[in-house]
Amino acid sequence: MTDRRSHLLKTLPPQHFVGLANEVAELEQAGRDIIRLGQGTPDLPTPEPICDALQTALLDASTHQYGPFRGQARLKQAVATFYLNEYGVELDPETEVAILIGSKSGLITLPQCVLEPGDGILLPNPGYPDYISGARLAGAVVRDLVLREENGFLPDYETLDTQDARLMYLNYPSNPTGAVASPAFFDDTVRFARERDLMVVHDFAYGSIGFDGHVPPSFLQAEGAKEVGIEVYTMSKAFNMSGWRVAFAVGNADIIEAINTYQDHVHVSVFSAIQAAAVAALEAPRTIRDDLARLYEARRDRLIDGLNRAGWAVEPPEGSFFVWAKVPEGDAKSFSRKLLHEAGVAVTPGYFFGSEGNGYVRFGLVSPEPKIDEAVERIERLFAAYEEVRA
């Protein structure tokens, strides 16, 4: 059959996660019991007050119509109030807030809003793979923003060559590394962006998930941050609303206007009832997010302690709901396949996130503790079996 995809679509990188999901499904269909620790989707239901708000909004016939192109005024005001209360950041709800149909949509379409074909874009390596998809769709040239363990998985601005880059993506707490950024780092980022005339996008997807007392700072808390960039915040991770597809971008008014203009031409807006539920989430007590962060911290500790007992030394992350583990032997691909096929534990090989991830695998903390315990036991048995063979 003729391949009717456009040349543009053919430039997109492969969706490795689809292949991994298919491989796991095939093993399960063949009767294997696979513990899935590779996924990055919250496993718990959306909190009841948010669901109640959706149900109430559904009974209001006005929500059944097209909503305002640029989002409900009440939601944009709720976003501004949330940022003021959480981070002390003042936002104009009309000019500095854009409502998104999920953060992935915003992050992928943003390069088309602010770049010309051939412009450079600095993307984290390792980093969220779909950043590259957005760059390719915009005809931008990807430049690696190399993140290494010895530097805390932060970019080294003193040695970084921006070349032709006009846009830079950051993500802290990080997917996949779990690394966190300090206020001082964001101050340096603003300085660097000003010097190089760079726009900055901070993907704050895991902003509510910090461990060991760490509270992840907002990029917009840095003085001058709104002059150089924006922050993207999703409801998916903080409120277990991954299937609801609602997020927002905040910050630089010119970039926000570019996003809104693009969205005016592509779609109307998020379903109004979902926007009402998002308001309820943002106005809900902070305990909803804090309790969730404590749950992920307990799972992190369970996994790290178990892996260390098994002889796999792994550093605990300070944020996100991922554990980034250096493989004890081989490379990410061969080791992750060994875990899957010999131990029945599915993890994500680090090369999915870029060349700098090839020595790591990613665990997701989105499975209940009994599953984590069982996965550790299987890994421990696998390691013991290999030690016997070597002996």
Tell me, yes or no, whether 23 lies in a domain.
yes
Dig out the tokens for 369 from the structure. 């503790």
Where do we find the tokens 């390596």?
125
Indicate whether 177 and 63 sit together in one domain.
yes
Mean per-residue pLDDT for 366-377? 96
Where do we find the tokens 């996660």?
17
Residues 246 and 270 sit within 8 Å (Cβ to Cβ): yes
Residues 258 and 229 sit within 8 Å (Cβ to Cβ): no
Indicate whether 236 and 357 sit together in one domain.
no
Q: Which residue has the higher pLDDT, 1 or 57?
A: 57
Indicate whether 22 and 83 sit together in one domain.
no
Calpha distance 321→210 (Å, rounded): 9
Indicate whether 124 and 257 sit together in one domain.
yes
Farthest-apart Cα atoms in the chain, separation: 72
Tell me, yes or no, whether 246 lies in a domain.
yes
What residue spans of the chain are helical by DSSP H? Answer: 7-10, 16-29, 48-58, 73-87, 103-114, 130-137, 183-196, 225-228, 235-238, 253-266, 272-283, 287-309, 332-338, 369-390
Tell me, yes or no, whether 1 lies in a domain.
no
Calpha distance 210→136 (Å, rounded): 32
Residues 333 and 349 sit within 8 Å (Cβ to Cβ): yes
Calpha distance 316→33 (Å, rounded): 27
Residues 125 and 360 sit within 8 Å (Cβ to Cβ): no
Mark 276-287 as b/e (b = at least 16 C-beta within 10 Å).
bbbbbbbeeeee
Q: Which residue has the higher pLDDT, 201 or 388?
A: 201
Calpha distance 390→388 (Å, rounded): 5
Indicate whether 54 and 200 sit together in one domain.
yes
Tell me, yes or no, whether 382 lies in a domain.
yes
**What is the torsion angle, in degrees rounded to the nearest 10, for the CA atoms of residue 316, residue 318, residue 323 and residue 329?**
-50
Domain containing residue 216: 48-283
Mean per-residue pLDDT for 308-331? 95
Considering 283, 318, 349, which residue would you say is the last residue of a domain?
Answer: 283
Predicted confidence (pLDDT) at residue 389 exceeds the cutoff of 80: no
The pLDDT value given to residue 387 = 67
Of 139, 96, 93, which is closest to residue 114 (Cα–Cα)?
A: 139
Indicate whether 18 and 69 sit together in one domain.
no
Predicted confidence (pLDDT) at residue 243 exceeds the cutoff of 70: yes
Q: Is residue 43 exposed (0-12), middle (13-18) or buried (19+ Cβ within 10 Å)?
A: middle
Q: What is the pLDDT of residues 87-140, one digit of tens each?
A: 999 999 999 999 999 999 999 999 999 999 999 999 999 999 999 999 999 999
Calpha distance 359→342 (Å, rounded): 19
How many domains in the chain? 2
Calpha distance 212→353 (Å, rounded): 26
Predicted confidence (pLDDT) at residue 391 exceeds the cutoff of 60: no
Considering 227, 251, 283, which residue would you say is the last residue of a domain?
Answer: 283
Q: End-to-end CA distance of the chain: give it in Å, rounded.
A: 54
Indicate whether 121 and 149 sit together in one domain.
yes
CATH of the domain at 335: 3.90.1150.10
| Mean pLDDT estimate for the chain | 95
Query: Mapping DSSP to helix (H, G, I), strand (E, B) and coil, where does residue 295 land?
Result: helix
Tell me, yes or no, whether 2 lies in a domain.
no
